[in-house]
Amino acid sequence: MGAAQKRLTPTVERVEASLLIWLDSSVNTLQESIDAQHQLRFITGNLEVFDREDACENYIWSLKESDRAILIVSGKLGREFVPKVEKNGKLVSIYVYCGDMSRNQWTKDHPKVKGLAVQLQDLILKIKSCQSESQNAETDNTLLISTFTQNDAQEKTTSQMNGDFVQSQLLIYCLLKMKSLSKPSTELISVCEKEYKDNSEQLAILKEFRKEYSRDGAIEWYTRESFIYKMLNQALRTQNFHLLYLFRFLIRDLEENLSRLRGSSVITVYRGQLMWENELDDLKQCKDQLISINSFLSTSCERKRAIAFLDSKTGLERILFEITADPNLKGAKPFAYIGKASRYKREEEVLFMIGSIFRIEGVSHDRNGVWTIRLTLCGDQNPAIKETIDHYKSQDDQVDLDLIRLGNVLQRMGRYDDAERYYQRCLYETDESHNDHDKSTCYHALGSLERSKGNLQASLDWFHESLTIDKKNLKPNDPIIASTYIDIGNVHNDMKDLERALESYQSALEILRSKYGENNIQVATCYNNIGVVYKRQQNYSSALNIYQKALKIRQNCLPSNHCDIGASYDNIGIIYRCCGDYDRALQHYKKALEIYQAVHSAQHPDIAMTLHNIGIVYEDQRDWKNALSYYNKAKAIYSKVFSSTHQAVVDNEQSIQRVSYKLH
C-alpha cells in the first residue's frame, strides 16, 4: 500500500486556555506569595509567575490565539506595566493588589482592571468568585452559535442554512450514538495527567474522578470547579474533536441526566453574555431565524442575577438572553433545573444541552446599555432542518463502526486530518479483530478521504484493497461492490484516465440497474459520473443529456438541499459554460453554491470550487472585476483546507494572477 498505509495517532493539544499570570518582584521569595500560588493553582491549572517585567511581557505577547489570560500585578509595577500589555486581545482581565489603595487611582483609566485589593487573600477571593460565575457571563467567545436562515418570501421555502448548523447537529448526534464506557477511559485520564502534571490539586481531583465517577453524578462533576468543566468547554470552543471524543461518555450522561430531571412547565430564564459588536450585529440580522448554541448553556431563573455579571468596563457589548423554553416540545434538546444536582447547589440554575435550537424573537436595547435578545426554544421538527439532517443521519447510520461515522462527519466539515485520525484508529482496531467487512469499510473511508485531499494514487490503492476484500466475501451483484466501482471510476476520472473511468462506471451501472431499476440514487451517481467522462471527451450534448437525467433522479430521491443535487447543478453549469451559454451557466452555478453553503461548513472545498467556476464565467465575459472577486473568495477557502501545491490552489492562483494583470 505504500504511502496509504501510514498510521496517525490522535493528538490532544494543550486544552486549558484560561490561565493566570502573576507579576511581582517578590512572587518567589515571600512565603505569603508562595502560599498564594498554591491557592491560585486550585482556581486554574495554568499559573505562570514572573519576577521580571520583560519576561512577563514577552510571555503575554507570545500567547496562542486560543489562550485567554488573567493578569495579577502589584500596584508598584502595574502603573508602568499595564499600558504595555493591555491591548493584547488574549488578556481578558487584570487584578491589582497594593498596600495603599490611594495610590491606585491610575487603574480607572484601564477598563481591563477588574479588581483592586490590599490583601492577597482578598484578591484571590475576587478571582475565585469571578471564575466560579463564568458560566453566567463569558468574556471569551465561549458561546458557539451557528445559524439557520429561511427565505419565506419565495413561493417554495428555500433554506440558506449555514452548513455549520447542520454538521454541528450531526456531530452531537454521532457522539451521543457512539458506544462508550461508563467511566473515564484510560486515554482520557492519561491526557489529563499530562495536562496537570504540575498541579497537585487537580491531580487529586482527577484521581477521585477516575475512582468515583458515576452516570447519576454527571451534573455534579460538570459543575464542580475543576479541570472537567474547563477542558470540556474549551474543547467545544476550540473544536478539539479528539477531546470531545474522549469526553463523549460525560456528554451522553449529561444528556441523560437533563432528560431525567426535565420539568413539565414552560419557564423563562436568563443568560448574561459579553459579545463583540460584530457578533451582536450578526444576531440582529437573524430575527425570526433559528440558531444552534453548540455548547452547554447555563442560565439563571433570576434576571437581576444574570445582569449582575455583565461588566460594563470590558469594551464588549452587554447581552441579556431572555429564553422561553417548553420542556414538552417535540424534538427539543433537554434542559433542566440543576440546583439540587449541582456540586455547589447553585440556586435557580437551568442547564441546556449542547446543540439546543432557538428562534430569535426580537432584539432591543435599554437605557443602561444592555441588549436583550429574546429566544424561544425550538425542536428539530422544522421541515427544512429535519429533511436534511435526517438524510445524513440515515446515511451515517448505515455504517456500523462508530469511528467511521465520526470520521465521515469530520470529513464533511472539511476537517480532513481529524477524519483521517479516526479512520486510521478504526483500521488499527479492525486489524486486531481480523474482521474483513470492517477492514473493507475502513479502506473505503480512507480512499474517499485521500481523494478529497487530492492524493489520487493513495485513494486508488485504498479502494482496490476494499474491492479485493468485498469480491472475496460478497455476491458479484452486491451494491457495495458497485459503490466501490463508482469510487474507483471517480479516481480514474480525476487522473484523466477516461477509458478506465468509463469501464468502472459501466460495471457499477450494470449491477445497480439489475438490482434497483432506473429511479435509484446510485444509478444517478453512475449517470452523473459518465457525464463527466463525456464532458472531458468534449461530447457536450451527451454530457448535458445524462447530467439532466442524473439531476431528475436526485431531485426525486434526495432532500432539496442535498450536496449531490448541488453537484448536478455544478456539472450542468460547466456544460453551459463550455457551450458559451453564460447566463444559464451562472444560473446553475449559483443554485449549486446556494446548496453547498446550506449543507457544508463555510470552509468546505466544494464552495471554493463553485466560487472559482463562477469566476471563470465572469472571466470568459471579460468582467475582470467580478472574476477577480470570486477567485479571491475561492482562495480564502482553499488556503485553509489545502496545501499550496494542491492542484486546485495552483489553478486558482494562476487565475488570480491572470485576471489581476488584465484588470490593471
pLDDT digits (tens, 9 = 90+) for 56-109: 998 888 887 557 788 999 888 988 899 888 877 778 788 888 766 667 778 777
d(C-alpha 337, C-alpha 432), whole Å: 45
- Same domain for 214 and 295? no
Most distant pair of Cα atoms in the chain: their distance = 89
Report the domain count for the chain. 4
- Same domain for 286 and 299? yes
What is the tens place of the pLDDT at every residue in 212-266?
999 999 999 999 888 998 899 888 877 889 999 999 999 999 999 999 999 999 9
d(C-alpha 160, C-alpha 242), whole Å: 30
- Same domain for 272 and 379? yes
- Same domain for 272 and 253? no
- Same domain for 567 and 645? yes
What is the tens place of the pLDDT at every residue in 393-443?
888 888 889 999 999 999 988 888 899 999 999 999 887 777 899 999 999
Residue 95 lies in a domain: yes
Identify the DSSP state of 133.
Answer: T
Residue 488 lies in a domain: no
Alpha carbon 106 to chain centroid distance? 42
- Residue 157 pLDDT > 70, yes or no? no
Residue 537 lies in a domain: no
Burial class (CB in 10 A: 0-12, 13-18, 19+), 530: buried
What is the tens place of the pLDDT at every residue in 505-554?
999 999 999 999 999 998 998 999 899 999 999 999 999 999 999 999 99
The range of the structural domain enclosing residue 76 comes to: 18-132
- Same domain for 186 and 128? no
> Whole-model pTM?
0.67
Among residues 347, 370, 386, which one ends one of the domains? 386
Among residues 367, 386, 405, which one ends one of the domains? 386
- Same domain for 194 and 307? no
- Same domain for 246 and 306? no
- Same domain for 275 and 371? yes
- Same domain for 211 and 173? yes
- Which of 152-166, 369-383, 451-465 bottoms out in mean pLDDT, i.e. has the lowest? 152-166
Residue 206 lies in a domain: yes
The CB density around residue 33, as the number of other CB atoms within 10 Å, is: 17
- Same domain for 196 and 306? no
Residue whose entry in the numeric block shows the C-alpha cell 501510514: 6
Q: Which residues contact 472 (CB under 8 A, 6 or more apart)?
A: 436
Residue 302 lies in a domain: yes
Work out the angle between the directed axes of helices 200-212 and 31-43 (0-180°, nearest 10). Answer: 30
CATH code of residue 659? 1.25.40.10
The CB density around residue 468, as the number of other CB atoms within 10 Å, is: 13
- Same domain for 289 and 245? no
What is the tens place of the pLDDT at every residue in 266-294?
999 999 998 878 788 889 988 888 999 98
Q: Are 648 and 609 in contact (CB under 8 A)?
A: yes
Among residues 209, 243, 259, which one ends one of the domains? 259
Q: What is the mean pLDDT of the chain?
A: 86
